[in-house]
Structure 1
């Protein structure tokens, strides 16, 4: 039962990560610069990955 509760908590944490805004950054380019910006939501591929992980955690 403890494992089930832990996996449920993990899946809730993962789905909770989809909502808040977050900062992304990038190093590189011709001048090797540091760029950053604040996104209001996760990119679609990151959402898909997080939801897959949350689904796996809920199935176990």
Structure 2
């Protein structure tokens, strides 16, 4: 059995290797998004230059 035949038998489109690969891919994406997806804080009132965030928030809900 050659190396390519062994690799094909392990990495072929079978249920278990495909499921494990999909699980690892989804886990990698989930953890990458969990670590990098951050929301910055709202600016302080001194840096808002007249922007009323409370009024903007209520405008979004009406």
- TM interval, short-chain normalised: 0.3 to 0.5
Q: Which structure has the larger Rg?
A: 2
TM-score by length of 2: 0.34
TM-score by length of 1: 0.35
Q: Which structure exhibits the higher relative contact order, with contacts defined as CA atoms closer than 8 Å and separated by 6 or more residues?
A: 1
The structure carrying a bigger strand percent of its residues is 1
